[in-house]
Amino acid sequence: MAKKSAQESMETPMMKQYQSIKDQYPDAFLFYRIGDFYELFNDDAVKGAQLLELTLTARNHNSADPIPMCGVPHHAVQNYIDILVDHGYKVAICEQMEDPALAKGMVKRQVIQLITPGTRMETGVNGAKENNYLAGFTKQDDHFGFAYADVSTGELRTANLSTFDTVMNEVMSVEAKEVVVDDTVPAELIDQFKPLGILVSHQTEITTGAELSFVTQDLDDGVETAAVSMLLSYMEGTQKRSLSHLQRAIAYEPSYYLKMDHYAKRNLELATNIRTGKKSGTLLWLLDETKTAMGGRLLKQWLDRPLLSLDEIKARQDKVDELLQHYFERSNLQDELVKVYDLERLAGRVAFGSVNGRDLIQLKTSLQQVPKIKYVLEELDQNVFGDMLTGLDPVDDVAELIDRAINDDSPISVTDGGVIKDGYDDQLDEYRDAMKNGKQWIAELEAKERQATGISTLKIGYNRVFGYYIEVTKANLSKLPDDRYERKQTLTNAERFSTPELKEKETLILEAQEKSTALEYQLFTKVREVVKAAIGRLQRLAKALASLDVLQSFAVVSENYRFVRPELNNGHDLEIEDGRHPVVEKVLGKQEYVPNDVRMADDTTVLLITGPNMSGKSTYMRQLALTVVMAQMGCFVPAKSASMPVFDQIFTRIGAADDLISGNSTFMVEMQEANDALMHATANSLILFDEIGRGTATYDGMALAQAIIEYVHDHVHAKTLFSTHYHELTALDESLHALKNIHVGAVEENGQLVFLHQIQPGPADKSYGIHVAKLAGMPDGLLSRASTILQELEANAGETPTPVNVDEPLSEPTPKPASKRKQTATSKQLALFETPTMDPKVADIIKDLKQMNLMGMTPMDVMNKFYDIQQKLQS
């Protein structure tokens, strides 16, 4: 027989069907259902086998050019889908739409769902407290319509944004896994998402219908409506099922909340640890004492968007205060919240039609806790919790229905029976009785036939092909009368028989079983539809319970870590007594942590912070920012007492990191972030600048640092903490009336540097750089040489550079140079490299180094240049 070619194999009816479906989803892995397996073919199989660690086989492997294939069992498919989606891929699920045994010709198949990184419903245990957002934006004139949704919870928000930078910031702030765009978005903007690992999908067709009308009914902005319409069209196109759990779109304005860009959130480690990329060691980690998945997600949302409204902040504070003062009621509340499952995602599964009996039992259990939670709240101050009590609808009609209808130990499958309780439906009870009695009759028949024939091993069995049968081993066939049974099947060691009476009972039992299973599924779907009609009520209840959960979490951490209620005002006075960095304190322990005051009266806008490295300057700055964030979330704060204004924005320039994606150096990133603060900060903002200017030459850096301080002081008036190693800048307090010097104390004891970690008034006397190098473990000889050089430089330093006069224009911010010091320092620095017997090759390299503009080079350029230098030295 001739071998089939690959082309002939591809032209079989099944492969033609496969390819026609695959052509509709070219950017997705197509999981093509064949019997009990999902198969992948061609490129999908080759790549899928590698990613999923599957064995790569072939269809028609005897042909000259076989078709690659691999497969996964249908019952384990979710795990494989999750792996691909986690890697940023899409997965199209292609199901058999008819019973193969009844199909006439090729089995009909179609894609029932396209699962993408932004539309996945199943998040697993580890993702229970995480939202999975899908974002989208469209462009109209100079504005962007932006929207984001969590398909699993139904949350949907939209905004009218004025710049693409704002769009990028929102996408990264909500940690969207996927972004949907239309033809209005230029390719150069789309390209900016690729280095971030965010999947970009395209949606050009807009669908209309009742769901679109529902979710957009509160929107009156055209660009917002366009963004929501595009996003909803994409979700409907990928999910191919009801999205009735989607909530009405909420329009928001980023400026309604305390504004922080994603760089600031990263620098402050609000939700992600910079070093590990995980939650541990962050403010979210510290604050999360929530008992429900819904509460955990809401806590992160509150952390992402602290409030600006003084009234709203105080309302949250009142609730936290009340819970803090009532320990036993709070404990009872926690006991009940622990039993509440994820109502938002349960409602999503109900809408999707993927809910099962166990899910409904979880829903019932959750609803049964609501009356107990209401009782606890009724014991507290009604003036504080009255609004929350009205939102705690127990949805008792749904709970009662589930209690009557659904078995507490329901199986996962809803099509195999065992889901509906006895006594719920009379017809179902009749079928079950017939099944039970029929099986009892068969057991009695088996005993009766054993006695009549004297064959103790005779048994009555069942299989799907032959139904019920009487089985007798061949060794006992001689004991049977010839006309007692009708022969049905011959086996190697036994014969199988039947009787008219057994056939009659078989028909009765199987008919009852088939009808029972079908009726059970019908009854289950009716229960599901009743629950589906209550989705809106369930979602409102979920919001109330989530808010209550976050507030009790605030009360718990406030008690555990000795937080106090801050006094907030609309002025500019800031006074924190014994403030602490909450995360550092938790890691170190309260006995080790040294608290510090932050005092900035209305007439003080800039604190200039000096002190050695590792002394705690950055921690001091971050602790103020975290205190502000916590206060405007409605939480209590780590301090002995705190009074502060409501800030509108926080800007940070802390730490040093190149922007490797765009190729910008540390210094360029530093200047960009500083410029962002200078251009957008207001008198109500908080600015944290950590050693601005250190990334360039000393006098350039000092000039820029002084000019920035002056600009903030004279034009922005924001509360600003500015740390520096340029001690010359401390003289600015003589000319800038709103600037004060403070420093982190350190003392020398027997040649050893001891950090006090205590903020003290005035400037630091020196930087202790060599002492810090000693702590880092540098060689003693090197340290001794550094000390000698330092003494020589200080002895020949001459006059100190004079700070820029504040009356001079900002366009010329360079400090007046002290020529003697500059020349002496330069000559001493050259002496480090030059020797009487210097190799000419080394001299050439030093000459090249002097001419290199390191701060204008990308990290990769610097690495390449130094590789060339290394090659020259080794040649």
Which of 115, 142, 171 is a domain's end point? 115
Residues with Cβ within 8 Å of 571's Cβ and at least 6 positions away in sequence, in order, are: 602, 645
Judge whether 301 lies within some domain.
yes
| Judgement on whether residues 342 and 468 belong to the same structural domain of the protein | no
Give the distance from CA 145 to its chain's centroid: 23
Sign of the dihedral through C-alpha 244, 245, 248, 250:
negative
Q: Looking at residue 817, what is its pLDDT?
A: 39
Q: What is the rounded average pLDDT for all residues in the chain?
A: 86
Which pTM was predicted?
A: 0.82
State the Cα–Cα distance between residues 373 and 548, nearest whole angstrom: 10
Pick the closest to residue 115 from 230, 241, 226 (CA basis). 241
More confident residue, 764 or 677: 677
What is the DSSP annotation of 493-560? SEEEEE-HHHHHHHHHHHHHHHHHHHHHHHHHHHHHHHHHHTHHHHHHHHHHHHHHHHHHHHHHHHHH
Within this chain, do residues 640 and 736 fall inside the same structural domain, yes or no? yes
Q: Are residues 314 and 371 in the same domain?
A: yes
Residue 633's φ and ψ, nearest 5 degrees, are -80, -20
Give me the CATH number covering residue 29: 3.40.1170.10
Question: Which residue ranges are tagged as binding site for ATP?
Answer: 611-618
**Rg for the chain, CA atoms, rounded:** 36
Tokens of 222: 């055209």
Annotated binding residues, written as ranges, equal 611-618
CATH number reported for the structural domain that contains residue 728 in this entry? 3.40.50.300
Half-sphere exposure of 425 (CA within 13 A, CB side): 20
Q: Tell me whether residue 298 is exposed, middle or buried, using C-beta atoms within 10 angstroms of its C-beta: 0 to 12, 13 to 18, 19 or more.
A: buried
pLDDT score for 807: 40
Pair 517, 539 in one domain: no
Clarify whether residues 705 and 579 are in a common domain.
yes
- Is residue 818 pLDDT above 60, yes or no? no
Long-range contacts of 81-84 (CB under 8 A, 24+ apart): 81/31, 81/115, 82/120, 82/122, 82/124, 83/51, 83/52, 84/29, 84/48, 84/51, 84/52
State the Cα–Cα distance between residues 653 and 376, nearest whole angstrom: 46
| Contact (Cβ atoms closer than 8 angstroms) between residue 766 and residue 779 | no
Place of tokens 């995360």: 583
Q: Which residues contact 325 (CB under 8 A, 6 or more apart)?
A: none
Encoded tokens for 199 = 């999947």
pLDDT of 614 higher than 50: yes
Mean pLDDT of 155-177: 94
Q: How far is CA 680 from the centre of its chain?
A: 28
- pLDDT at residue 659, as a whole number: 42
Q: Is the domain of 333 the same as that of 366?
A: yes
Model pLDDT, residue 696: 66
Q: Which of 234, 256, 278 is the last residue in one of the domains? A: 256
Q: Which of 93-102, 168-177, 575-584, 595-604 has the lowest mean pLDDT?
A: 93-102
- Is residue 736 in a domain? yes
Tell me: do 662 and 783 sit in the same domain.
yes
Asked if 465 and 354 sit in the same domain, the reply is no
- Say which CATH number the domain at 191 has: 3.30.420.110
Has residue 262 been placed in a domain?
Answer: no
Are 134 and 217 in the same domain? Answer: yes
The sheet carrying 155-161 orders its strands as 199-202, 178-181, 134-140, 143-150, 155-161, 250-251
Asked if the structure places residue 634 within a domain, the reply is: yes
| Residues 449, 311 within the same domain | no
Residue 506 within any structural domain of the chain: yes
3-state class percentages of the chain: helix first, strand second, coil last, to nearest 5: 50, 20, 35
Same domain? For 660 and 757 the reply is yes
Residue 823: pLDDT band with limits 50, 70, 90: very low
Going by pLDDT thresholds of 50, 70 and 90, the confidence category of residue 672 is confident
Structure tokens, 639? 């301090």
Looking up residue 376, the CATH number of its domain turns out to be 1.10.1420.10
Are residue 761 and residue 680 in the same domain, yes or no? yes
Query: Does residue 812 register a pLDDT over 70?
Result: no
Q: Rounded distance, CA 48 to CA 834, Å?
A: 60
Query: Using 50, 70 and 90 to split pLDDT, how confident is the model at 861?
Result: low
pLDDT for the residue numbered 664:
55
Q: Which is it for strands 650-653 and 686-690: parallel, antiparallel or unpaired?
A: parallel
Q: Rounded to whole angstroms, what are the CA distances from 709 to 713, 732, 765, 865? A: 6, 9, 21, 35
Return the pLDDT at 9: 52
What total of structural domains would you count in the chain?
5
Residue 403 lies in a domain: no
Which domain-ending residue is among 82, 115, 148?
115
- CB contact set of 570 (below 8 Å; sequence gap of 6+): 310, 645, 646
Tokens of 834: 């030059």
* Residue whose pair of structure tokens reads 């009852």 in the numeric block: 512
Average pLDDT of the residues in 410-429? 91
Task: Say which residues have a Cβ less than 8 Å from residue 390's Cβ, sequence separation at least 6.
Answer: none
Residue pLDDT, tens place only, 702-737: 888 899 999 999 999 999 999 988 888 999 999 999
Identify the domain containing residue 134 by its residue range.
Answer: 128-256
In sequence order, the 6+-apart residues with CB closer than 8 A to the CB of 632 are 258, 306, 307, 308, 313, 568, 646, 647
The answer to whether residue 657 scores a pLDDT higher than 80 is no
Residue 107 lies in a domain: yes
Question: How confident is the model over 257-286, as a mean pLDDT?
Answer: 92
Residue 865 lies in a domain: no
